[in-house]
């Protein structure tokens, strides 16, 4: 009797262990969200591109340590002469500034939390252009990308850990600085909580602006040209964490999804497709060899489009107030493996046959 009971008991215990053993599953994710945050895979080596280059109409900069450039000339608009009716300065408001060296820069005022610099195309210059060069980051750095305002042509990109970025420029540009300290010019205007507008023409052999971020996260605020076609923000970024949440007015973390999406299982199609609505919440946990294939925006999209692929240990979704956990168990993987199924079928036939043969031999040898 024990020949029958013991193997059966072992098989049951083994099956229960497999049912409780969660294993990573390959997932393919396509989601639309107002915000995505991710950590660069710490297994990567060296700095990698985590945000592609972007052609923009203007770019704001916050939480910076320094902003430096080499101009041919700099002029300043006297703040008191600003004309609110035309949202501009008259020609008489512009005063040239004398340079004290080749380098001009901005830094934040002591203990300032409101410092901001905006670099934009100068309205009267047809040949001006601004490009945010690719942003590099080291393994383990945290990045977030989110939309700003109601339109889909403004983003906020935050990169931690003293990251830096370069702006490549053409022609004359305008720089609007608030709550900053300017260096490299004589008699700079640097009153707290006041915006100051500068006209800058960069040197031909140095057509760029260097931006160094603070440790708590450099913030880049690009604004695209109206009607600009599909914009690729990032591609092929290996990540170890990924989340789609934002903070509401009460300080709580809420889902940032803003459109329909889906999650599929390429290696396990029998798991079906998870359809995601903008009112749902999604969490991907215990990521392995996971890559963000693309992050993009377009004028007709209700947010940022994310496409990702890789291994996830667990998938959490929430529809209304109903949380759902999804994961693949070792039992599921084995029972849906044709080779293993054939092996089990062979065992199911072979073991009783052997036991019957042994019993038959015992009877014969009686």
Q: What is the pLDDT of residues 46-92, one digit of tens each?
A: 889 999 999 999 999 999 999 999 999 999 998 888 888 888 888 89
Residue 70 inside a domain? The answer is yes
CA 2/CA 50 separation, integer angstroms? 61
| Domain boundary residue, one of 177, 192, 223 | 223
From 195, 223, 251, the end of a domain falls on 223
pLDDT score at 113 = 75
pLDDT tier at 114 (50, 70, 90 boundaries)?
A: confident
The domain tally of the chain equals 2
CA–CA separation, 144 vs 132, rounded Å?
16
Q: Is 194 helix (H, G, I), strand (E, B) or coil?
A: coil
Q: What's the confidence (pLDDT) of residue 123?
A: 62
Contacts of 214 by beta carbon, 8 Å cutoff, 6+ apart? 63, 64, 65, 162
State how far the alpha carbon of 202 is from the alpha carbons of 76, 167, 205, in Å: 15, 12, 8
Strand partners, 26: 311
Q: Say whether both 201 and 253 belong to one domain.
A: no
Cβ neighbours for 277, distance < 8 A, ≥ 6 positions apart: 257, 260, 319
Examine the domain organization and report whether 67 and 196 are in the same domain.
yes
What value does the mean pLDDT take over residues 161-168? Answer: 89
Of residues 364 and 232, more confidence is placed in: 232
- Whether 63 is in a domain gets the answer yes
Mean pLDDT value of segment 95-100: 94
Question: What value does the mean pLDDT take over residues 321-340?
Answer: 50
Higher-confidence residue of 76 and 270: namely: 76
Instruction: Give the pLDDT confidence of 334-351 residue by residue, as tens digits.
Output: 455 555 555 555 555 556
pLDDT of residue 352: 61
Residue 150 pLDDT: 65
Residue with tokens 């609007």: 176
What six digits make up the tokens of 220?
A: 């880049």
The pLDDT, as a whole number, for residue 18 is 45
First vs last C-alpha separation in the chain: 18
Dihedral sign for Cα atoms in the order 39, 106, 101, 92: positive
Rounded to whole angstroms, the Cα distance separating 48 from 159 reads 13
Instruction: Judge if 254 and 300 occupy the same domain.
Output: yes
Check residue 226 and report its DSSP letter: T
Q: What are the CA-CA distances from residue 62 to residues 35, 110, 151, 287, 358 (Å)?
A: 18, 14, 21, 31, 81
User: Residue 281 — pLDDT band, cuts 50, 70, 90?
Assistant: confident
Dihedral-angle region of residue 90 (phi above 0 means left; psi in -120 to 50 means alpha; beta otherwise):
beta
**pTM of the shown model:** 0.81
Please tell me the distance from the alpha carbon of residue 235 to that of residue 309, in angstroms, as a whole number.
12
pLDDT for res 163: 84
The better pLDDT of the pair 167, 280 is held by 167
Helices (H) and strands (E) in the chain, counts: 3, 30
Give the H/E segment covering residue 206: none
Instruction: Select the highest-mean-pLDDT range: 7-21, 201-215, 256-270.
Output: 201-215
* pLDDT of residue 197 exceeding 90: yes
pLDDT at residue 322 in the model: 44
158 domain residue, yes or no: yes
Q: What is the pLDDT of residues 201-241, one digit of tens each?
A: 999 899 999 999 988 889 999 998 876 667 899 999 999 99
**Could you tell me if 99 and 59 are in contact, meaning their C-beta atoms sit under 8 angstroms apart?**
no
- DSSP codes joined into one string, 243-308: E-EEE-TTS-EEE-B-S-EEEE-TT-GGG--EEE-TT-EEEEEEEEEEEEEEEEE-TT-SSEEEEE
Range of the domain at 307: 20-52+228-348
Q: Tell me, yes or no, whether 5 lies in a domain.
A: no
Instruction: Judge if 274 and 212 occupy the same domain.
Output: no
For residue 338, what pLDDT is reported?
Answer: 55
**Whether residue 186 is found in the same domain as residue 254:** no
Q: Which residue among 223, 252, 275 closes a domain?
A: 223
Are 286 and 15 spatial neighbours (Cβ–Cβ below 8 Å)? no
Could you tell me if residue 13 is inside a domain?
A: no
| Same domain? 185 vs 273 | no
Using left for φ > 0, alpha for ψ between -120 and 50, and beta otherwise, residue 217 falls in: left
Shared-domain flag, residues 36 and 64:
no
The DSSP 8-state label assigned to residue 149 in this structure reads: S
Indicate the pLDDT class of residue 283, thresholds 50, 70 and 90. confident
- Residue 302 resides in a domain: yes
Are residue 127 and residue 190 in the same domain, yes or no?
yes
Say yes or no to pLDDT of 126 above 50: yes
Task: Let me know if residue 356 belongs to a domain.
Answer: no
214 and 280 in a common domain: no
9: left (phi over 0), alpha (psi -120 to 50) or beta: alpha
Residue 286 has pLDDT above 80, yes or no: yes
Lowest mean pLDDT: which of 199-203, 262-266, 362-366? 362-366
Residue 111, in any domain of the structure? yes
For residue 4, name the pLDDT band (cuts at 50, 70, 90).
Answer: very low
In terms of domains, do 197 and 245 share one?
A: no
Does 205 lie in the same domain as 96?
Answer: yes
Res 363 pLDDT > 70: no
30: tokens are: 């396509």
Q: Which of 125-139, 196-210, 261-275, 311-325 is least confident?
A: 311-325
Same domain, 333 and 235: yes
């Amino acid at each position: 009797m024990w020949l029958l009971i013991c193997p059966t008991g072992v098989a049951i215990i083994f099956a229960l262990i497999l049912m409780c053993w969660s294993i990573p599953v390959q997932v393919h994710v396509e989601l639309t969200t107002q915000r995505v945050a991710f950590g660069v895979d710490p297994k990567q080596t060296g700095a990698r591109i985590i945000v592609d280059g972007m052609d923009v109409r203007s770019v704001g900069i916050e939480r910076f340590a320094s902003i430096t450039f080499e101009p041919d000339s700099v002029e300043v608009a006297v703040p008191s002469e600003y004309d609110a009716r035309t949202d501009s300065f008259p020609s008489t408001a512009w005063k040239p500034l004398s340079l004290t060296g080749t380098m001009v820069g901005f830094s934040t005022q002591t203990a300032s939390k409101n410092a901001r610099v905006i670099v934009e195309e100068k309205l009267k210059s047809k040949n001006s252009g601004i490009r945010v060069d690719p942003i590099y980051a080291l393994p383990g750095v945290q990045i977030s990308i989110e939309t700003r305002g109601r339109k889909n042509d403004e983003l906020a990109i935050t990169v931690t850990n003293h990251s830096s970025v370069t702006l490549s420029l053409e022609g004359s540009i305008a720089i609007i600085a608030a709550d900053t300290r300017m260096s490299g010019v004589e008699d700079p205007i640097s009153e707290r909580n006041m915006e100051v507008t500068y006209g800058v023409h960069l040197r031909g052999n140095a057509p760029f602006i260097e931006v160094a971020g603070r440790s708590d996260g450099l913030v880049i605020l690009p604004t695209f040209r109206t009607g600009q076609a599909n914009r690729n923000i990032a591609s092929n970024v290996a990540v170890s964490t990924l989340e789609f949440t934002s903070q509401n007015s009460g300080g709580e973390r809420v889902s940032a999804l803003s459109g329909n999406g889906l999650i599929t299982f390429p290696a396990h199609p029998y798991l079906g497709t998870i359809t995601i609505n903008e009112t749902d919440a999604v969490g991907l946990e215990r990521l392995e060899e996971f890559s963000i294939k693309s992050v993009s925006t377009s004028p007709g999209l209700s947010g940022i489009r994310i496409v990702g692929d890789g291994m996830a240990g667990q998938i959490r979704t929430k529809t209304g107030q109903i949380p759902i956990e999804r994961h693949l168990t070792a039992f599921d993987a084995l029972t849906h493996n044709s080779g293993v199924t054939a092996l089990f079928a062979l065992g199911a036939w072979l073991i009783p046959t052997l036991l019957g043969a042994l019993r038959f031999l015992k009877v014969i040898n009686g």
